[in-house]
Amino acid sequence: MLYAIFGSDGPDSLAARIAVRGAHLARVGELRDQGRLVLAGPHPRLETGDPGATGFTGSLIVAEFASLEEAKSWANADPYVHAGAWTEVTVKPFIQVMP
């Protein structure tokens, strides 16, 4: 089943994001390489493709996992969580209707 992972950034999270971005993207890339990733990306604080120093409010990942518990475990092991960039993680089942 698909699951939506919402990682919410804490205040002043940009430095923590930058520090572990490579490790975070590598993990998400593994989902992509396994054919399990639907989409992934950040929520910028400003309505722009490059929010600069204002940073991000969080991220969204939609991917396939065997269970809700597996999706939660994967999300909670993310480098953004360990670095303190994501201060809250919510995982919900997701049904893709379109495309």
Q: Write the pLDDT tens digit of every residue in 49-90.
A: 999 999 999 999 999 999 999 999 999 999 999 999 999 999
Within a domain: residue 35? yes
Q: Count Cβ atoms within 10 A of the Cβ of residue 57 and give its class: 0-12 exposed, 13-18 middle, 19 or more buried.
A: middle
Within a domain: residue 40? yes
Q: What's the CATH code of the domain at 27?
A: 3.30.70.1060
Q: Write the pLDDT tens digit of every residue in 3-31.
A: 999 999 999 999 999 999 999 999 999 99
Within a domain: residue 24? yes
Within a domain: residue 20? yes
pLDDT at 89: 98
Report d(CA 59, CA 28) in Å as an integer: 12
Domain enclosing residue 68, as ranges: 2-47+54-94
Within a domain: residue 99? no
